[in-house]
Amino acid sequence: MSEYSVLDHEMVPKHEIMDESEVKSLLKKYKITLEELPKIKASDPVVVAIGAKIGDVLKITRKSPTGGIAFYYRLVIED
Amino acid sequence: MVLSKESIEKSVDGLSIPQSLKESLVEYCVHAGVTRAQLNEIIKRVMESYEYAKIEPCEAVGVVAAQSIGEPGTQMTMRTFHYAGVAEINVTLGLPRLIEILDARKDPSTPIMTIMLKDGKDRELAKKVALEIEATNLSHIGSIYTDLAEMSIVIETSEQALSQRGLTIDTVYDVLRDEIKDKAIVELDGLRITVRPSEPSYRSLLQLVKLIEGITFKGIKNVSRVVIQKKDDEYVLYAQYRYKSVEKKSKTRKTPLEQVLSIPEVDASRTKTNHIMEMAEVFGIEAARNSIVEEAMDTLREQGLNVDVRHIMLVADTMTVDGEVKAIGRHGVSGEKASVLARAAFEETVNHILEAGVRGEVDILDGVTENVIVGQPVKLGTGDVHLVAIPIGEIMKKMKGENDGS
């Protein structure tokens, strides 16, 4: 049996925990509230792997077939 | 004077256009060799074209996506099965597969794992790993019959079959004994194993036979076939299996994919499955979203249909916004709309209206369907624009507040 990390998988994009000021400017930019962001569950394997907590916002850097790279944001929620 | 690559990159970098557009812009400009004035003109025109090509705010992209997937969908075959090359692995294709993807089925009809190896050049190694993955049952290594006079079960194994599967009679005996030790006495004699139920009855004998037939002696349970194929000078394993994904994931029970990933020879960064719900379980919601896009595009492409990936991306994003994979339809996205009228217009009209009445729900008439029903302009496109009057005093107050805050 060997250990593997889900973060190394080619289909898992980069997830980063955003700090408070980044979240603030993000919400201001799109004129939305925190609850209007897309969600990600706290039990999601990636959330567990990077150690994010409920209430954190994750910045996801996706590889996009049209735009090259695209940013997506998800709020960590309880299951 | 022709600009250098660095200075072109520098002027392009700050533009608010997608990364891929920036890259090709730099590439073409470097290739052609442009001056500062030319570059400025190119950038100006590109920005104009980009703004022109961008979708307008409040555009009904969902409807466009629905039509763009729906129309080619009518041309899809009802043909379900296809044999992937010589290997003869069954894969659901065409319309049934597309429905399966959008329904977020927990047990798709033909899950296939694509297993990549760290060292893909070695055929012998690929064979060895394949044996470790494919489940070996009794039917692969020998035969079983019941001896009613003796009230026992006799298992006859073949040495050839055992060595082909990389097993020895002792390991088979050990596995068998561990599995049924509290129900029967197991005896080993050469290549023959005799099982005597501790409670000698006809019924327990039959039950025991069934149990023994279901034991996996080697490999991963529910993996029925593993096929080795060469793909771009690398051996790739395709595993056909069955797995029903569960709502609440237990920490101890591993899915077939997780079991494959923990084999040391397997490259855990490139191994995947076409089972979307299992991808969500193992690699998370973002991987599941990528998996939906990939699988849907492959299904459409295989049928010779050309659907723009943006439509599929929109569908995949809608299915995964809430952090779990949701189906398009009654039990998923459409069934959980906020508006009562929208839900009632979709399916089960009476149930939805009745339930909304009991709970005292309010419909704020925000969406498309509700407004069509009540005969109001839909808040879409130009219909979404309102004239709002704010007293000048309010604006001044707000601006002052913002200045103070920053």
Confidence tier at B120 by pLDDT (50, 70, 90): confident
User: What's the CATH number where A24 sits?
Assistant: 3.90.940.20
Domain boundaries, chain B: 5-53, 136-213, 338-381
pLDDT of residue B406: 47
Q: How far is CA B11 from CA B24, B29, B34, B39, in A?
A: 14, 12, 13, 9
Percent of chain B beyond pLDDT 90? 20
What's the mean pLDDT in B232-245? 88
Using an 8 Å CB-CB cutoff, list chain B residues near A62: 286
The CATH code of domain B136-213 reads 3.30.1360.140
CB A62 within 8 A of CB A69: yes
Using an 8 Å CB-CB cutoff, list chain B residues near A6: 282-284, 287
Asked whether residue A1 is domain-assigned, the answer is no
What's the mean pLDDT in B14-36? 88
Residue B255 contacts A where some CB pair is shorter than 8 Å: no
Q: Counting one residue from A and one from B, how many pairs have CB atoms under 8 Å apart?
A: 99
Residue B386 clears pLDDT 80, i.e. is over it? no
The boundaries of the domain holding residue A47 are 6-77
Nearest CA in chain A to B264: A2
Interface test with B, best of A14, A32, A40 (most B CBs within 10 A): A40
| Structure confidence by residue, pLDDT tens digits, B340-385 | 888 888 888 898 899 899 999 888 888 888 888 999 888 887 777 7
Residue A39 contacts B where some CB pair is shorter than 8 Å: yes
Verify whether the Cβ–Cβ distance B284 to A6 is below 8 Å: yes
Confidence tier at A76 by pLDDT (50, 70, 90): very high
Residue A23 contacts B where some CB pair is shorter than 8 Å: no
| Structure confidence by residue, pLDDT tens digits, B76-100 | 876 655 555 545 677 888 888 899 9
Asked whether residue A70 is domain-assigned, the answer is yes
Asked whether residue A46 is domain-assigned, the answer is yes
Residue A14 clears pLDDT 60, i.e. is over it? yes
Q: Distance between alpha carbon B171 and the CA centroid of its chain, in Å? A: 36
**Which CATH number does the domain B338-381 belong to among 2.40.50.140, 1.10.150.390, 1.10.760.10, 3.40.1160.10?**
1.10.150.390
What's the mean pLDDT in A62-67? 88
| Structure confidence by residue, pLDDT tens digits, B130-172 | 888 888 888 888 888 887 777 888 888 888 888 888 788 888 8
Confidence tier at B404 by pLDDT (50, 70, 90): low
| Structure confidence by residue, pLDDT tens digits, B298-335 | 999 988 889 999 999 999 999 999 999 999 877 788 77
